[in-house]
Amino acid sequence: MERLTGLDAAFLYIETPSHHMHVSMVSVFDAKTVPGGYTFEKVRAVIEERLPLIPMFRRRLVEVPFRLHHPIWVDDPNFDLDYHVRRIGAPAPGGLKELCDVASEFTSRQLDRSRPLWELCIVEGLEDGKIGVLAKVHHSTIDGVSGAEVMVHLFDLEPSPAPKETEEPVEPAVPERVPSDVELVGYAAWSLARQPFQIASKLPSAVRSLVDVVRRRRDSEGPSAPAPFAAPRTSLNASITPHRKVAAVTLPFEEVKAVKRAMGCTVNDVVLALCGGALRRYLDARGELPEEPLIAVVPISVRNDPDVETQGSNQVSALFTSLATDQRDPAERLRAIGEVTRAAKDEHNAIGAKMLQDWAEFATPALFARASRLYSSMNLADRHRPIHNLIVSNVPGPPFPLYLAGAKLELLCPLGPVMEGAGLNVTVISYMDTLDIGLIACRESVPDLWDLADGFRDALEELKEAAGVPTEPPAPTAATPSPEPAVPQT
């Protein structure tokens, strides 16, 4: 039995029928690499075998009566793997767009809170002997880094790996006894009694951090991080519905790194510049490009920070940064993004990586949940300036191939949640020699999501040209031989 941290629980409290808080994944595997041939049963058997290594996949929520305190996790005594792992056939012709159409419907449905908060769907019948794997896990259970840890347990480094060895044998999960309401209320009362002392201990450091940020902004001569509620309104920014739309695009990672080297910036700066370039094209084509730059929220992992002690499934913070969509020149856009992002990181460090987690611990569950539902049901996101325009996440992935039940992973696109008033999420991950970009949006806010996805290729070409990175011409192949010189007729 384990109580959720405040930050983990917050992802439950802000969820509404239209505001889903699961993170998802669209992936494509080459089933032709499976030794002995692909079957659904082989994939299911691997997942069942690895379940003891992923305890979060067997635990479910138990709410405290009257929502006096954060819920707890218990091992599900009625766990049913067949509920969580299913399969479906892909619509013809079975390409990436058809897979994303299935993912759109898959991500539009909330997870059942009476069961462990994850589902996995195998999509069979993709073109060229491939299969798709769709997954969704509630954000209260997982963040980007812990999601990568799940991949370590599920995926292999070769099609036919040796049995996984552990230092100690993994014992089969034993269903826990669900605590009684009296026990839950007693535990909550004890925890709540300590909260005033905890708040008093954290308040001085929070005040010092805020004063430090104000001082930095006042004394700084360069750009500063955007503030919440400073984002311009666009069609992306409205109250959302339960309906989602998914798209994906893959870019050559070496070209992205070449731009980084030529411009003397970071890969994350280039990723943000790609987003800014694609969104500028998209909004300009719709006649709604704002004069002010779009503002993105960028999640930051604090899991590997040696100075931060954290608990729970989510060990993240976030910063606000500009996408410089007001800059026409791609090189100037990239430089502006780098300057603002560095300022945002400095302010984030001044506030402290643990601030979000510390204060989320004191969220009142019942009040928080009611406020979220009221905000959503009254469409209040339409009545004030957007807090931000979108979320952009950048997750480093493995530079080597991965396999699931012998099938080689070819495409890996994570998808984060969209937020009330910010109906677009862009999540980027590197895998081998590609940069895979997953886009998920409120269908009504971004109905032509594939137009935006296609703009990422144009944005990369713009950056390459601005950075002086050459584009290699495609090498001739046997299927497209070089033309022979014409022979005069006699």
The residues facing 422 across adjacent strands are: 419
Catalytic-labelled residue, pool 20, 22, 138, 139: 139
> Among 248, 245, 244, which Cα is nearest to 108's?
244
Q: Note the pLDDT tens digit of each residue in 167-188.
A: 455 555 566 677 777 777 777 6
When mean pLDDT is compared across 136-150, 239-253, 425-439, the lowest value belongs to: 136-150
Give the side-chain half-sphere CA count within 13 A for 421: 23
Could you tell me where the beta strands, DSSP code E, fall in 276-433? 295-301, 316-322, 390-395, 403-404, 407-415, 424-431
CB burial readout 401-413, b (16+ within 10 A) else e: bbbbbbbbbbbbb
Q: Which sequence spans correspond to the domains of the chain?
A: 2-160, 222-393+419-467
> In the predicted model, what is the mean pLDDT of residues 215-219?
63
High-pLDDT (> 90) share of the chain, %: 62
Q: Note the pLDDT tens digit of each residue in 294-341.
A: 999 999 877 665 454 555 566 777 899 999 999 999 999 999 999 999
Top-confidence residue, 8 or 205: 8
Is residue 58 pLDDT above 50, yes or no? yes
Answer yes or no: 153 catalytic. Answer: no
> Among 418, 419, 425, which Cα is nearest to 453's?
425
pLDDT tier at 483, thresholds 50, 70, 90: very low
User: In whole angstroms, what is the distance from residue 32 CA to residue 126 CA?
Assistant: 12
Mean pLDDT, the chain, rounded, equals: 86
The CATH homologous superfamily of the domain defined by 222-393+419-467: Nonribosomal peptide synthetase, condensation domain (3.30.559.30)
User: Which CATH architecture fits 2-160?
Assistant: 2-Layer Sandwich (3.30)
Residue carrying structure tokens 């191939």: 401
Top-confidence residue, 123 or 475: 123
Q: What is the pLDDT of residue 69?
A: 83
Q: What is the pLDDT of residue 414?
A: 93
Residue pair 346/215 in contact (Cβ under 8 Å)? The answer is no
